[in-house]
C-alpha cells in the first residue's frame, strides 16, 4: 500500500504550504511518498525499449514480407499504414499519457508539461492522419471497399475520439477560455477517455495484424471470393463468345490485394509460417506495451500529487 504524508512541520514548510494554498506561489503541496516496488525510471526504460521494438518490427514486417514502402497508391503505400499507426497512436500516444508520471513533473509549474503532452499528442494525431491517407488511397486505387471490417471501425473510432480528446484538452487546459470549475469537472473525463482510446488502439492494432495475415496467407480471402463471383456475373453475357475471351477479360480486371497475396503465398496461415510467427509476436508485444501503459496510469504512487487546484489554473495566458 502506498502511503503519502506531509513533511515535518518546520516553519519553512508550513509557510510554503500557506503560500501555495493562497495562490501566492506556483507548484503543488510537497509530499513524501513511498514508491512501489518497481521504480518509474527503469520501468520507463523498459517501456521505451518495447515501444522501439513495436515500431521497428512493424517496419521490418513491411520491408521483408510485404514488399517495402512507397507513396504511389500501390500495396507498398499501404505498408505505411501499420507503421504510422503503431508509431503515432500507440507509442507516441502512450508516451504522452505518461508525461505526468515523470517525477520531474511533480514540482514547479505544470504548464511546461502540459505543452509537452499537447505536442506529443499532436504529433501522434498527424501520423494517424497520414496512416489513414495511406490506407484509403490504396483502397481507392485498387477498387477495394472502405470501412467494411471490424478493424476499420475500431481504428476510425479511436482516431475520431482522439481528435475530440485533443481539441477538448486544448480548449480546457491550455487556452484561458474555460472556467476553473469546468476544467476541474472535465479532468477525470479526459483521463478516462485517454485510457479508453489507448484500449481501442490496442484492439485495432491486433485486429489489423490478424486481418492482414488472413489476406496475406489464407488460401481464400473473403474479398477474393467476392471478386471472383462479381467477375463471373459481369462476364456471364460474354460466355457465348467463348471461354478464351472470358478468360482474357478476367485477366484484365483489377485484382484486389487479397487475391495477389493468395497467389504469392506458399504456406497458409493455419500452418504458422515464419511471417505468421513474426506478426503474432508483434501483436503480443503491442498488447504488452499497451497494458503496461494502462498499468502505469493506474499506479497511484506515480501520479502527480495535485493537492490543490493551482495546476488547473495554469494556462497559456500566464505566459503571454
pTM for the model stands at 0.75
Tens digit of each residue's pLDDT (9 = 90 or more) over 132-158: 999 999 999 999 999 999 999 999 999
What is the β-pairing status of strands 4-5 and 32-33? antiparallel
* pLDDT for the residue 310: 53
Residue 308 in this model has a pLDDT that exceeds 60: no
Which pLDDT band holds residue 178 (cuts at 50, 70, 90)?
A: confident
* pLDDT for the residue 72: 94
Report the chain's mean pLDDT, rounded to a whole number: 80
168 or 236: which leads in pLDDT: 168
Residue recorded with cell 503496461: 292
Tens digit of each residue's pLDDT (9 = 90 or more) over 29-88: 444 444 445 789 999 999 999 999 999 999 999 999 999 999 999 999 999 999 999 999
Cα three-residue angle 219-209-251, rounded to 5 degrees: 40
CA gap 238, 303 in Å, rounded: 70
* pLDDT for the residue 318: 54
Q: Looking at 26-110, list the stretches that DSSP marks H as alpha helix, in order from N- to C-terminal side.
A: 40-64, 75-78, 80-85, 93-97
Tens digit of each residue's pLDDT (9 = 90 or more) over 244-265: 444 444 444 444 444 444 444 5
Residue recorded with cell 505505411: 80
* pLDDT for the residue 315: 61
C-alpha cell at position 31 = 509530499
17 or 204: which leads in pLDDT: 204
Tens digit of each residue's pLDDT (9 = 90 or more) over 270-296: 899 999 999 999 999 999 999 999 999
119 or 319: which leads in pLDDT: 119
Helix (H, G, I), strand (E, B) or coil at 33: strand
CA gap 242, 224 in Å, rounded: 24
C-alpha cell at position 270 = 493455419
Q: How far is CA 268 from CA 152, 214, 222, in A?
A: 24, 9, 15
CA gap 158, 86 in Å, rounded: 13
Tens digit of each residue's pLDDT (9 = 90 or more) over 183-235: 999 999 999 999 999 999 999 999 999 999 999 997 654 444 343 334 433 34
CA gap 169, 174 in Å, rounded: 7
* pLDDT for the residue 255: 47
Amino acid at each position: 500500500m502506498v502511503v503519502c504524508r506531509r513533511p515535518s512541520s518546520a516553519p519553512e514548510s508550513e509557510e510554503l504550504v500557506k503560500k501555495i494554498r493562497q495562490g501566492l506561489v506556483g507548484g503543488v503541496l510537497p509530499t513524501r511518498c513511498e514508491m512501489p516496488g518497481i521504480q518509474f525510471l527503469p520501468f520507463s526504460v523498459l517501456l521505451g525499449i518495447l515501444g522501439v521494438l513495436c515500431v521497428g518490427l512493424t517496419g521490418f514486417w513491411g520491408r521483408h514480407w510485404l514488399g517495402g514502402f512507397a507513396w504511389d497508391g500501390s500495396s507498398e503505400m499501404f505498408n505505411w499504414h501499420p507503421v504510422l499507426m503503431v508509431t503515432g497512436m500507440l507509442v507516441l500516444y502512450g508516451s504522452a499519457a505518461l508525461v505526468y508520471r515523470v517525477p520531474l513533473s511533480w514540482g514547479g509549474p505544470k504548464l511546461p508539461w502540459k505543452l509537452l503532452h499537447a505536442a506529443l499528442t499532436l504529433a501522434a494525431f498527424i501520423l494517424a492522419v497520414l496512416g489513414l491517407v495511406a490506407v484509403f488511397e490504396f483502397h481507392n486505387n485498387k477498387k477495394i471497399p472502405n470501412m467494411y471490417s471490424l478493424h476499420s471501425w475500431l481504428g476510425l473510432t479511436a482516431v475520431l475520439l482522439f481528435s475530440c480528446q485533443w481539441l477538448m484538452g486544448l480548449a480546457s487546459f491550455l487556452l484561458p477560455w474555460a472556467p476553473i470549475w469546468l476544467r476541474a469537472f472535465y479532468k477525470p473525463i479526459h483521463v478516462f477517455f485517454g485510457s479508453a482510446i489507448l484500449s481501442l488502439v490496442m484492439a485495432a492494432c491486433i485486429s489489423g495484424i490478424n486481418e492482414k495475415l488472413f489476406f496475406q496467407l489464407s488460401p481464400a480471402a473473403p474479398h477474393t471470393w467476392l471478386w471472383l463471383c462479381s467477375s463471373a456475373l459481369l462476364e456471364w453475357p460474354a460466355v457465348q463468345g467463348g471461354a478464351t475471351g472470358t478468360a482474357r477479360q478476367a485477366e484484365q480486371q483489377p485484382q484486389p490485394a487479397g487475391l495477389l497475396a493468395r497467389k504469392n503465398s506458399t504456406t497458409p496461415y493455419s500452418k504458422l509460417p515464419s511471417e505468421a510467427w513474426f506478426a503474432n509476436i508483434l501483436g503480443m508485444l503491442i498488447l504488452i506495451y499497451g497494458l503496461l501503459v494502462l498499468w502505469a496510469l493506474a499506479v497511484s504512487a506515480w501520479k502527480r500529487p495535485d493537492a490543490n487546484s493551482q495546476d488547473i489554473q495554469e494556462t497559456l495566458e500566464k505566459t503571454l
